[in-house]
Amino acid sequence: MTTMQPVIGSMFDVFSSFYSSVGPAVEGLAINWNHFLAFFGLGMLGLGLSGSAIGLAIAGSAVAGMREEKRGLGLAVSVLPGTQGLYSFVVGILLVGGLKGEFAKIPPEAFLKVFAAGTVTGLACLFSGWFQGVVCAAGIRSINQEKMGVGTAFLLAVLPEFYAILSFVLAVMWKP
């Protein structure tokens, strides 16, 4: 018997008791999976916002440790991960705009396009924003130690950005 078996067993008991009380009410509920997937894809765009926040926190932490005379240069580099959140936000606006009107009249492919575009953009912006923050932090440390100039730090920081841009373009192409 492993140490996790009692925990898993108690979690199973909680879920089964929850399902036994809620299950009969949910069984009659008809779920339109196209609508569900579209809203799930829109929710995935939140990952892009999260990637931006994580990247900004990582890069901003590096700025906090800089010498005062170099801090302005580091601050310029530290804001780059914020763009992934903007891409996710704009894609969300475009996708919601594509679902205007009566849902019954919207073709099912439109909902699947929203799911695909939201998922691809959300995941790409999560990871590119996160790791852009790591690259920015390394560049900021190098600027502080006078091992690298701001232009080189910007250039290196733009490389993860490229994949967020690709996901943005793909989402615009898939817009319903």
Give yes or no for residue 150 having a pLDDT over 90. yes
Question: pLDDT, tens digit, for every residue of 81-104?
Answer: 999 999 999 999 999 998 887 877
State the average pLDDT over residues 14-25: 62
53 HSE (CA, 13 A, CB side): 5
Specify the pLDDT at position 5.
57
Check which CATH number belongs to the domain holding 108 and give it.
1.20.120.610
Q: Does the residue 69 lie in any domain?
A: yes
Specify the pLDDT at position 9.
58
Q: Phi then psi for 109, rounded to 5 degrees?
A: -65, -30
Specify the pLDDT at position 102.
81
Domain that holds residue 73: 25-174
Which residue is it, tokens 């910007």?
A: 154
Q: Does the residue 132 lie in any domain?
A: yes
Q: Phi then psi for 80, rounded to 5 degrees?
A: -60, -40
Model confidence band, residue 176 (pLDDT cutoffs 50, 70, 90): confident
Q: Does the residue 19 lie in any domain?
A: no
Per 3-state DSSP, the chain is made up of helix, strand and coil in percentages (nearest 5) of: 85, 0, 15
CA angle 160, 166, 75 (to 5 degrees): 35
State the average pLDDT over residues 134-161: 95
Radius of gyration of the chain (CA): 22
- Mean pLDDT, the chain, whole residue set: 88
More confident residue, 104 or 114: 114
Q: Does the residue 15 lie in any domain?
A: no
77: tokens are 């580099």
Record the pTM: 0.80
Q: Does the residue 8 lie in any domain?
A: no
Specify the pLDDT at position 56.
97
Based on the structure, what is the number of domains in the chain?
A: 1
Q: Does the residue 5 lie in any domain?
A: no
Give yes or no for residue 149 having a pLDDT over 70. yes
Question: pLDDT, tens digit, for every residue of 56-81?
Answer: 999 999 999 999 999 999 999 999 99
